[in-house]
Chain A
Amino acid sequence: MSLLRDFADKPIKANPVFVLVLGLCPTLAVSTSVQNAVAMAAAATAVLIGSNVLISLIRRFIPNQIRIVCYIVVIAGFVTMVEIIMKALAPQDVNKALGIFIPLIVVNCIILGRAEGFASRHGALSSLMDALGIGLGYLGALLSIAVIREILGAGTLWGYRLTPITLAGRTLVPEYQPANILVMAPGAFLVIGLLFGFFYWIGNRRREQARRAGVPAVAQTARDLPKPKKQGADEEATG
């Protein structure tokens, strides 16, 4: 039961991007298309599963003073494996789009954060469920940005043209002129900023309703969560 909870709490209430505000660099860089987003989420989740399970298995043997270095070495090992596998399996253009962001998973603060904040204190099975939950949340966050950017910025979804839609010779939806700026760098910042705002707005509204109904507020956004332990604060300023 508690294993299920280790998983189920994570994708939304502890969403790595929108609640914990971790791992922003790859999120913005690879969310240009849904295909890239899925590839990146798969790579990051594979590393996260590997590092979480291994670190939780060896957590009693790691001396406390050098634990961060040990975590980094474990993570870097898994990243190298994923890098080689991606080179062999993923399509050429996906590999090119992800570029240095695959090796940069090493310094992705989501992974180091889970190693320090969860895997170093929980058993292997719990850590596996945690990795799956966080990975799912990361996939969700990436997709929410990538879908908007790809549809509005390129007029496609998973590489398929969406418009014009014709039925029996009649044009139902005319061809959409894509707003290229959304696939470029400024679009990434604007889309994620507005999405953050949207999720904060939902959180604020929920809290307002709960207050009116006289129920104690439920933690919904990063602002309401109890301030995370010290490393949480550090990570926000680094990764």
Chain B
Amino acid sequence: MRITTVEVGYVELAIGSILISNFVLMKFLGLCPYLGVTKKTSDSVGMGLAVIFVMTLASAVTAALYRHVLLPSSPDHTNVLALLGIPVPAEGLVLVLKTISYILVIAGLVQFIEMVLRKTVPALYRALGIYLPLITTNCAVLGVALLNTTDWKGSASGLPVHLAAFNGFCAGVGFLLAMILMSGIRERLAEARVPKALRGIPIAFICAGLMALAFMGFTKLFGITV
């Protein structure tokens, strides 16, 4: 019984994050790389893969941080600070420390990934390295971390760590999808005759609007609401 509910959870999360509420086109997160790095398909694929990587890890780490450090202890999960004997206020540390701790964890994580990649997988580092520093301030990463750990369908403790990581991965896949579609359009646009005033950013936004319109067709796909 338990397994089936989890299975449904995965499918629901995947379709929800990739298609129905696509991070770029429906939630307006990560628009700067969406406009800045989509002039060439190769760049947008590199950026998208780097974002998937960082989002998955950041989601897992911040969800664990939220459950075991920021929230007060409950039957569902224990607070590590309380175990260590450090006093934790009854309402937890969420209100005061959530934003600061998340951004520091993400910044540290990106630095760490960069170092590990450079030492262990130089080929991957050469492909993704230049995009990694840009990701710290990509609002999609902090955005997915925050969304994972806010009221998730009424449960105040947010998504459990494994589902949070999976949701981060799916949000990243949705981001990659939007990036690839956009760069394909923009490579074509480079040869189109666009009115002078609309060249560059304006036409990119208008294309994004039309893509968002198309993505609205996924609303309530398979009866899933997000």
Given known A-B contacts A77-B100, A185-B212, A200 and B197 have beta carbons under 8 A apart: yes
The residues in A between 80 and 122 inclusive whose CB is less than 8 angstroms from any CB of B are: 80, 83-84, 87, 100, 103-104, 106-109, 112
Mark the stretch among A5-13, A34-42, A190-198 that contacts chain B: A190-198
Docked-complex contact A234 and B134, CB < 8 angstroms: yes
In the complex, B127 has a CB within 8 A of chain A: no
In the complex, B29 has a CB within 8 A of chain A: yes
In the complex, A24 has a CB within 8 A of chain B: yes
Docked-complex contact B137 and A109, CB < 8 angstroms: yes
Docked-complex contact B143 and A100, CB < 8 angstroms: yes
In the complex, B117 has a CB within 8 A of chain A: no
The contact of B205 among A106, A196, A223, by CB within 8 Å, is: A196
Distance in Å: Cβ of A65 to nearest Cβ of chain B: 12
Q: What sequence of 0s and 1s flags, for each residue 21-58 of chain A, a beta carbon within 8 Å of any chain B beta carbon?
A: 11011101100000000000000000000000000000
Contacts of A188 in B (CB 8 A): 28, 209
A22 to B100, CA, bound (A): 22
Contacts of B185 in A (CB 8 A): none
Contacts of A107 in B (CB 8 A): 103, 136-139, 142
Distance in Å: Cβ of A25 to nearest Cβ of chain B: 5
In the complex, A157 has a CB within 8 A of chain B: no
Docked-complex contact A189 and B107, CB < 8 angstroms: no
In the complex, A124 has a CB within 8 A of chain B: no
A104 to B209, CA, bound (A): 23
A76 to B208, CA, bound (A): 30
A192 to B200, CA, bound (A): 13
Contacts of A236 in B (CB 8 A): 32, 35-36
Docked-complex contact B139 and A193, CB < 8 angstroms: no
Given known A-B contacts A189-B209, A238-B33, A239-B139, A106 and B202 have beta carbons under 8 A apart: no
Docked-complex contact B107 and A186, CB < 8 angstroms: no
A189 to B208, CA, bound (A): 6
Chain B: which residue is nearest A79 at the CB level?
Answer: B99
Distance in Å: Cβ of B78 to nearest Cβ of chain A: 25
Docked-complex contact A190 and B103, CB < 8 angstroms: no
Docked-complex contact B205 and A200, CB < 8 angstroms: no
In the complex, A172 has a CB within 8 A of chain B: no
The residues in B between 181 and 226 inclusive whose CB is less than 8 angstroms from any CB of A are: 195-206, 208-210, 212-213, 215-216
A73 to B150, CA, bound (A): 22
Q: List 22 A-B contacts (CB under 8 A).
A: A21-B35, A22-B32, A24-B35, A28-B31, A72-B104, A72-B107, A83-B95, A100-B150, A104-B143, A185-B28, A186-B212, A189-B205, A192-B205, A193-B208, A196-B201, A196-B205, A197-B197, A222-B201, A236-B32, A236-B36, A238-B32, A238-B136
